[in-house]
Amino acid sequence: GNSMTQPAIPVIHSIPDGAALITSVLCEYPIPKPHSCKLYKRGLNDTYLVITEREKYILRVYRRGWRNKEEIDFELELLVFLHEQKQPVAYPIARKNGSFTTNILAPEGVRYVAVFNYAPGHAVDDKLDGKQSYILGGVLAKIHQKLDNFKSSFSRPALNNEYLLDWSMRAITHLYKHRKNDIDYLQKEIIKIKSQLAGFQLHLTAPEYGICVGDVHSGNAHFTEQNEPTLFDFDQCGYGWRAFEIAKFLHVALKIKIDMTVRNSFIEGYQAIRKLSEAELASIPVFVKAAHIWVMGISTNVVGDVLPYGWFTDEWLDQRLAMLRSLDESDNFIKLC
């Protein structure tokens, strides 16, 4: 055989060239000609910062195999609806032909692209203060109220036990078979979480249940100098319990060590718009554990693609189980008003 012929190697995940996205994709949108389009963040999807003469935009290339077209359409339709309802969200820009996604042919197959307006301000992350936290809680409650009137033409997986816990557990088990005792502990925790959640008898109807954003935290919102927030990254949205949505915020806040009074301000801000029921308030600490396991599940599900296998050391599991145990010991980590 000719040693010069090189076999074509399948690609798991490619990084599209920003300049090529300008000429092949961004020309389809009614925006000024971009000066630059640069890879901004790598995560579950690839995020590019697009800079034109006066405005900035965000271009997202969805990772192949993470979301199907229907799930993406659900997210974008929901953002368009919230924007029409004057809610502070980063919304998708329609193409000149009226559609919201562009298909690109990447080496790994077809991928979908969406373009969003840039959320004014900047992320506060672990510098979130009590006032901002309160404002963010209120904005989320208003978004929930608006979403109770939203009917999608697309479907989306529910943020239920099967997805949050069982799906996560399969991926964790797959990577940590050698940690039998810890896997057994996690299984027991999941059984306990499920039975506690069943005990709260939360209603499967609005306002307790409905569409959730799925990932509201201080890194997924920008605040202006006047403390006006804009929310973005609805990639994890779906139908679920609103108490879980609040727990998801608290989980991130705990992880980045935002103090308790600031965390509680979020719940106060939410309740200023919609009072949570006793059952909802009581369920929040349990939902924080579910959120913790789900985040472990998302990470372990993208092994070999977003995260390399070398990421998942024994220390990785040790740290996450330590946090789960700390949530167990401190049922008082949240002061319920």
**What's the mean pLDDT in 84-109?**
98
Handedness of CA 56, 74, 242, 274 (dihedral sign): positive
- Residue 312 — left, alpha, or beta (φ > 0 → left; ψ -120 to 50 → alpha)? beta
**What's the confidence (pLDDT) of residue 329?**
73
Q: What is the percent of the chain where pLDDT is above 70?
A: 97
In a domain, 3, yes or no: no
**What's the mean pLDDT in 141-166?**
97
124 pLDDT more than 60: yes
**What's the confidence (pLDDT) of residue 3?**
65
337 pLDDT more than 50: no
In a domain, 1, yes or no: no
Give residue for tokens 């989320």: 140
**What's the confidence (pLDDT) of residue 227?**
97
Query: Phi, psi (5° rounding) for residue 133?
Result: -65, -45
In a domain, 288, yes or no: yes
Mark whether 46 and 141 lie in a shared domain: no
Residue 195 in tokens = 């039975």
Q: To which H or E segment does residue 166 belong?
A: none
CB–CB of 300/294 below 8 Å? no
- 207 preceded by cis ω (within 30°)? yes
Sequence-distant (≥ 6) Cβ neighbours of residue 243 within 8 angstroms:
202, 208, 276, 280, 281, 283, 284, 287
**What's the confidence (pLDDT) of residue 336?**
53
In a domain, 188, yes or no: yes
Sequence-distant (≥ 6) Cβ neighbours of residue 87 within 8 angstroms:
139, 142, 143, 146
- Structural domain containing residue 42: 18-117
Mark whether 139 and 99 lie in a shared domain: no
Query: Phi, psi (5° rounding) for residue 44?
Result: -65, -30
Which CATH number fits the domain that encloses residue 266?
3.90.1200.10
Q: Measuring CA to CA, which residue among 154, 63, 150, 70 is closest to residue 109?
A: 63
**What's the mean pLDDT in 151-160?**
95
**What's the mean pLDDT in 66-92?**
98
Mark whether 77 and 131 lie in a shared domain: no
Whether pTM > 0.85 for this model: the answer is yes
Segment among 25-29, 263-267, 309-313, 331-335 with least mean pLDDT: 331-335
What's 114's DSSP letter? E
**What's the mean pLDDT in 280-294?**
98
**What's the mean pLDDT in 149-156?**
95
Domain end: 117, 151, 176, which one? 117
74 pLDDT more than 70: yes
335 pLDDT more than 70: no
Rounded-to-10 torsion of CA 197, 198, 204, 209: 0
Burial class (CB in 10 A: 0-12, 13-18, 19+), 212: buried
Domain end: 97, 117, 137, which one? 117
In a domain, 162, yes or no: yes
Higher per-residue pLDDT: 331 or 264: 264
Mark whether 136 and 90 lie in a shared domain: no
The 10s digit of each residue's pLDDT in 196-235 is 999 999 999 999 999 999 999 999 999 999 999 999 999 9
Residue 79 in tokens = 């953002």
In a domain, 196, yes or no: yes
Sequence-distant (≥ 6) Cβ neighbours of residue 39 within 8 angstroms:
15, 18, 46, 47, 48
Domain count, the chain: 2
**What's the mean pLDDT in 147-158?**
96
Mark whether 113 and 132 lie in a shared domain: no
List C-alpha distances in Å: 279 to 128, 258, 275, 282. Answer: 28, 25, 12, 5
CA 67, CA 107: separation in Å to the nearest integer? 17
End-to-end CA distance of the chain: 76
317 pLDDT more than 70: yes
CB–CB of 218/128 below 8 Å? yes
CA 131, CA 262: separation in Å to the nearest integer? 8
In three-state form (DSSP H/G/I as H, E/B as E, the rest C), the secondary structure along 167-208 is HHHHHHHHHCCCCHHHHHHHHHHHHHHHHHHHHHCCCCCCCC
Handedness of CA 197, 258, 166, 141 (dihedral sign): positive
Q: How many CB atoms lie within 10 A of CB 228?
A: 13
238 pLDDT more than 60: yes
Mean pLDDT, the chain, whole residue set: 96
Domain end: 85, 117, 149, which one? 117
Which CATH number fits the domain that encloses residue 44?
3.30.200.20
**What's the mean pLDDT in 105-128?**
97
**What's the confidence (pLDDT) of residue 75?**
98
Residue 296 in tokens = 């472990």
The 10s digit of each residue's pLDDT in 260-282 is 999 999 999 999 999 999 999 99
